[in-house]
Structure 1
Amino acid sequence: MSIPPPPGPHQPQEPQGQQYPQAPQYQQGPYYGMPYQPWGQGYGSFNRPAPVNGFAIASLVTGILCFVPAVGLVLGLIALSQIKKRGERGKGMAIAGSVLSSVGLALWAVTLSTGAASDFWEGFKEGARDNSSLSLEKGECFDSPGGMEGFTYDVESVPCVGRHDGEVFAVVEMPGGSFPGDDKVTEVADDKCYALQGSYALDAWALPDTVDVYYLTPTRQSWRLGDREITCVFGHTDGRSGLTGSLRNDETTLDADQVVYLKAADVLNTAMDSAPAEEYVEDDLPGHKAWAGRVADALTEQAGMLRDHRWPARAEKPVGDLVEDLEAARKEWALAAEAADVDAFYEHYDTGYELIVPEQSVTARKALGLATTPPSYGDSGDGSDSGGGDAGIEV
């Protein structure tokens, strides 16, 4: 889930002309070119000593490192054979490399038999996860060196009260197995993150119009280290300006009355969001009638939740008035669900829709201390009590 930092002043320039996309590259430190040609061997030397066998050097180095002990042993045996035939130097290095490699090979065998290698690898993967952007938790805010667009190779956790690039609102664990591909990971992230934003920000009216949904996803490389987490994030729509203050409004930050009201409103929001794909009723009257039936059922449930709750004195009348509107709207939506033709559908739909437009709930919201400015719905035509963007920009 990381990408390289932007090109530095020492990195080679791309040739002019046709450009081809390249995978992200990693490098340690700046790139240094070779500004001068090395001196040539213009003159031979007298009494030149015998060269040192390259396999002997490789065997010694490999044996000391003990990363690949079996290779060091093989290189040592090859070196001894070549030294004998060619009269080269390096016999001592070849023998030392072979001995060290043999010892390393024995240690590896013991390690594997006791399960220590498995413990080491699991510890390595855990350390990699703990030091990656996937270690972010729900409710945590962070800064990303490259903002919220493209790839990110590192993040820094910062307090939410100040300026920050993103705020984590959910973490989704993907199933194990082989890497499903970037397209599949993005599809899962898109579905899960947009579905989960409402559980973190129950009152979408409180989300600024400049907030959008982003997500951090595993790459093929991080997947090999055990990375399975999709991190769902709120960020600024332009990916650079950042946010100030936490956007969290759920059971941890709201009172019981506010939570009941918002959960009841979400019942209607979910039904409104289930509208058929065909925008015009004429193109799918059965689909719109079924949708109207779902809305009518949701209105029944929402009105019941609001009616059954004991509200504080300041909110009793506003919420009661809202319940009356919801019940009147339910009748109209139920009639739309039974409409014999398009004209009859529109007649009841128009009346029912006007009874649930967001402005109808402003008074009740004000009495409960909730946001009172309806969000911008764009061209969605959504008459629900909750808004939210439809961005889908990925990180």
Structure 2
Amino acid sequence: MSIPPPPGPHQPQGPYQPSPPYPQGPFAPPPYGAGQGGPSYGGQPGGPWGAPPYQPWAQGYTPFNRPAPVNGLAIASLVLGVLCCLPGVGLVLGLVALRQIRRRGERGTGLAVGGAVLSGIGLLLWVLFFVSGGASEFWQGFKEGARDRSSISLVKGECFNAPGGALDGETDGVDKVPCARAHDGEVFASFRLAGRGYPGEEKVAGLADERCWSLRDGYAMDGWAVPGDVDVYYLTPSGGSWAAGDREVTCAFGSTEEGGRLTGSLRNDETVLDADQVAYLKAAHVLNAALETAPGTEDGGDELPGRKQWAGRVAAALGEQARMLRAHHWPARARRQVADLAADLDTARAQWAKAARAEDADAFQDRYATALGLIDPGRGVAVRRALGLATVPPGGDDGAGTSVQV
């Protein structure tokens, strides 16, 4: 009799030996017959009987929960809505952002809604601002402010002090002071420039210089009463103030000396002079205007035809000055002096007329030298003294020495 070996893991089993029992539990494989070819898990061939069924991970799967991105247009809409600078743009961006959020599954719905609402409110306020005329009032105030800063709001006859005492370069403002006190400048005229586009700093300065010099005699009719260190200055619009509507040029007298100040008003016109003084000065200005037309170097001042034409203008001015002096009814204290001056002017006119007819340069120079001596400023001192005007001629002239007021 044989004794079979005890059962164990290496014990061979016969064809009729029953299989070991399946484990019990949640991961027990189904019995054969549930599928073809043995157990299967998730549609895949079955593995060991103890392996649980599973679904393979899809591509790109991550075990961490990554949040959806925030829509950038929603952020931009909220920023523009808060700033209220471009409300129309902020409203459009907010609406576009809402569409993108729904389509892409992004975050930022609250931002887009908030930006659209704030931008809508801002747009409504802008519309009300323009409809009610607030924009027009604001722009007008801006232009007036710019004009005030540029033209300094000075009027004819006012005196002022400039920052640092300098009447050149740029300035943001001046201090008005009584003319009786020491001051840096005195306004004698103002005018407006024409044009839409800014002509440029150089062109504006050229126009201001030419016009201010032509206006100075209307304020200070007696050039002898103006100190020799006084010159013409002007305040002009800048490019920025021009864009705001400023076109005003302010002409002023100021000292040419470093640190120099003016004291008292230089005004001597019809408002402060009597009728006899005004009549004499107007006659004297006729000659001065002609003398100032002397041809310069750039105009061919050394050419004989131009100099002869100028001599002819001076001769005509001398005749007109004598006529104006004789036409006025002078007070007894000045009649003889005015008659003597008119006779001197007739003599000078004849000599200037000869210079205008000179045959050559040498003849012109001889007659010109004689003619110039006949309009010596000293010849008018007697009349000035009789009329109560300044009797000391100006100390010099910055031109060619031809601007002589008698």
| Bin of the TM-score, shorter chain as denominator length | 0.7 to 0.9
- Work out whether residues 187 and 253 of structure 2, in 8 Å CA contact, stay in contact via their aligned partners in 1: yes
Mean alpha-carbon deviation: is it higher for 238-247 or for 321-330? 238-247
State whether residues 56 and 97 of structure 1, in contact with CA within 8 Å, keep that contact through their aligned partners in structure 2: yes
Aligned partners of 1:382 and 1:259: how far apart in 2?
22
CA gap of 1:92–1:362, structure 2 versus 1, over 3 A, is farther
Structure 1 partner of 2:66: none
1:280–1:61: structure 2 CA closer, same or farther, 3 Å change rule?
closer
Structure 1: segments with no counterpart, 5+ residues = 1-50, 387-395
Q: Are the aligned partners of 2:150 and 2:246 in contact in 1 as well (CA < 8 Å)?
A: no
SS in 2 for 1:242: coil
Contact 2:78–2:111 (Cα < 8 Å) also in 1:
yes
C-alpha distance in structure 2 between counterparts of 1:158 and 1:54, whole Å: 60
Which residue matches 1:106?
124
The answer to whether the aligner puts 1:304 opposite 2:304 as a matched pair is: no
1:129–1:333 distance in 2 versus 1, CA, 3 Å = same
Determine if contact 1:149/1:239 at 8 Å carries over to the other structure: no
Greater RCO, CA 8 A, separation 6+: 1
CA distance in 1, matches of 2:155, 2:229: 23
The answer as to whether partners of 2:280 and 2:325 remain within 8 angstroms in 1 is yes
Partner residue in 2 for 1:274: 293
CA distance in 2, matches of 1:191, 1:87: 70
SS in 2 for 1:180: coil
CA-CA distance at 1:57 after TM superposition: 7.7
SS at match of 1:235: strand
Identity %: 57
Q: Spell out, residue by residue over 1:76-118, the C-alpha distance to the aligned partner (whole angstroms, 9 max, x if none).
A: 55877899989878x6565444323212323433554566533
Alpha carbons of structure 1 residues 127 and 56: separation in structure 2 relative to 1, 3 Å:
farther
1:6-21 alignment, distance < 5 Å:
none
Which stretch of structure 1 is more off in the superposition, 237-246 or 276-285?
276-285
The alignment status of 1:224 with 2:238, answered yes or no, reads no
Correspondences of 1:186-201 after superposition (within 5 Å): 186-201=205-220
Aligned partner of 1:181 among 200, 204, 225: 200
1:239 and 1:189, CA in 2 relative to 1: closer, same or farther beyond 3 A?
farther
Corresponding position of 1:12: none
Match of 1:163, SS? coil
The answer (yes or no) to whether the contact 1:142–1:155 under 8 Å persists in 2 is yes
1:1-395 to 2 correspondence within 5 Å?
62-63=80-81, 66-74=84-92, 76=94, 95-112=113-130, 116-146=134-164, 147-238=166-257, 240-278=259-297, 283-375=302-394, 376-377=396-397, 380-382=400-402, 384-385=404-405
CA distance in 2, matches of 1:137, 1:318: 38
Quick one: which amino acid aligns to residue 382 of structure 1?
A: T
Kindly tell me: are residues 314 and 73 of structure 1, through their superposed partners in 2, closer, same or farther at Cα, counting changes over 3 Å? same
CA RMSD, Structure 1 to Structure 2 (Å): 3.2
Separation in structure 2 between the aligned mates of residue 309 and residue 56 of structure 1, nearest angstrom: 87
Task: For residue 326 of structure 1, report the CA deviation from its aligned partner.
Answer: 0.6
Which deviates further from its counterpart, 316-325 or 300-309?
316-325
Cα distance between partner residues in 1 of 2:261 and 2:97: 61
CA distance in 1, matches of 2:183, 2:97: 59
Contact 1:76 1:97 in 2 (8 A): yes
Deviation by residue 1:185-235 (Cα, 9 ceiling, x = unmatched): 111112111111111111111111111111111111111111111111111
**Aligned equivalents of 1:80, 1:158: Cα separation in 2:** 65
- Specify whether residues 148 and 53 from structure 1 end up closer, same or farther in structure 2 by C-alpha distance, changes over 3 A only: farther
Distance 1:140 1:76, change over 3 A: farther
Q: Report the TM-score when normalising by structure 1.
A: 0.75
- Cα distance in 1 for partners of 2:70, 2:268 equals 71
1:55 deviation in Å?
7.8
Secondary structure of 1:380's aligned partner: coil
Q: Which amino acid aligns with 1:144?
A: A
Moved more, 69-78 or 337-346: 69-78
Q: Distance between the aligned counterparts of 2:242 and 2:148, measured in 1?
A: 14
- Larger Rg belongs to: 2
Structure 1's 101 and 188: CA in aligned 2 closer, same or farther, altered over 3 A? same
Size of the aligned set, in residue pairs, is: 337
